[in-house]
Structure 1
């Protein structure tokens, strides 16, 4: 079967690349005249730690989104209108990550941390739901998937994405009282997905054996 999603994947790769690039705009370089001596510059750089944290967390979150997008489209060979628009929704949310990242950089070390972390985790609930929706639409019509993929493999891939939803919901709830814990929970989930992302490909290969 000829793959029909090549243009969609290329466009998506470009959007993910732009979304990651936008994150660096929240890292500001001070004016030389304001921080002329080493001690002042060192103090300034130390005070910017929320910006470094926000940039690092968001960079790897978008990177893992891209990895999973790549894995899922190794199984999707054809597209329909629903897949096209759901993919657009995923790209919309990926592009939006820079906004809560900016808020996180500016307000994480303030009493408003719970609000910005709630916005951040809330966005990733929507992202997770979008991935689940994309895979649900593709999986219910096997003619859209790679030839030979089994129902068992489809189910395992679905479960791999389902793990994230309750974690994000818990993180969202925790963000109102324990924002640092909520953010740490999201990071743990991304580490899990980074380690287990090979499962998508592995299950698909096993299904063809």
Structure 2
């Protein structure tokens, strides 16, 4: 890879890493005590903190998801041979959607135990439909620069699988929110192993 193209690739990765870092920071900023005046002793304090379990669950889940997305994105950039305009815009779209994860996470944690939780869950899962679409677009552009092989076919299959699964999870959330989150978690587990051959050569 020529020096100019290597510099462009490094700048693309640096920008993306910065966005992922900001997103994770925003997730952490949503962790506010919000304790009432009754939390005057240790037991009351622990009880009120435990009562906020939807917030902790949403934070851990979304932190893990963003981490997996960053690992996948880092792996995809290993296939960059030339940073052209379509790649820049596709990556920008992915970053735009990624910055919405803290919002949908806060929405889900606030409504998880309410009747409105189904709609919050649908919006949460629906965002990952769009994110998966952006990943597919970026991978499509990068795949054209790579030599075809078994690894590229495997990654393509995994990314294409995510779109219908997340779409089903979005629809299911309107009736069975826990099942929707299980479907999303299944995709996150698949994505967590998705880049192992790229990073480790396994």
TM normalised by structure 1 equals 0.88
Q: Deviations over 1:36-62 (max 9, x none)?
A: 112221221121000001101110111
Matched, 1:106 2:110: yes
* Maintained 8 Å contact 1:114/1:176: yes
Deviation at 1:5, TM superposition (A): 0.8
CA distance in structure 1 between the aligned counterparts of 2:23 and 2:127, rounded to whole angstroms? 14
Q: Deviations over 1:129-179 (max 9, x none)?
A: 001011112223x2xx4xxx3354433321121121121011111100001
- How is 1:1-209 mapped onto 2 (pairs within 5 angstroms)? 1-2=1-2, 3=6, 4-30=8-34, 33-140=37-144, 142=145, 145=146, 149-201=147-199
CA distance in structure 2 between the aligned counterparts of 1:16 and 1:110, rounded to whole angstroms? 30
CA distance in structure 2 between the aligned counterparts of 1:16 and 1:124, rounded to whole angstroms? 15
CA distance in structure 2 between the aligned counterparts of 1:57 and 1:103, rounded to whole angstroms? 14
CA distance in structure 1 between the aligned counterparts of 2:61 and 2:35, rounded to whole angstroms? 26
CA distance in structure 2 between the aligned counterparts of 1:110 and 1:16, rounded to whole angstroms? 30
CA distance in structure 2 between the aligned counterparts of 1:187 and 1:127, rounded to whole angstroms? 15
CA distance in structure 1 between the aligned counterparts of 2:96 and 2:48, rounded to whole angstroms? 34
CA distance in structure 2 between the aligned counterparts of 1:200 and 1:125, rounded to whole angstroms? 24
* Maintained 8 Å contact 1:157/1:200: no
* Maintained 8 Å contact 1:23/1:98: yes
The 3-state SS of whatever aligns with 2:89 is helix
Task: Detail structure 1 runs of 4+ shifted over 6 Å in the superposition.
Answer: none
Q: Deviations over 1:22-49 (max 9, x none)?
A: 0012211245854111222122112100
Deviation at 1:94, TM superposition (A): 0.8
Q: CA RMSD in A?
A: 1.8
Deviation at 1:103, TM superposition (A): 0.7
**Could you say if the C-alpha distance between residues 161 and 200 of structure 1 is closer, same or farther in structure 2, counting changes exceeding 3 Å?**
farther
Deviation at 1:6, TM superposition (A): 0.7
* Maintained 8 Å contact 1:125/1:168: yes
**Could you say if the C-alpha distance between residues 31 and 54 of structure 1 is closer, same or farther in structure 2, counting changes exceeding 3 Å?**
closer
* Maintained 8 Å contact 1:26/1:105: no
CA distance in structure 1 between the aligned counterparts of 2:190 and 2:151, rounded to whole angstroms? 19
**Could you say if the C-alpha distance between residues 168 and 190 of structure 1 is closer, same or farther in structure 2, counting changes exceeding 3 Å?**
same
The 3-state SS of whatever aligns with 2:82 is coil
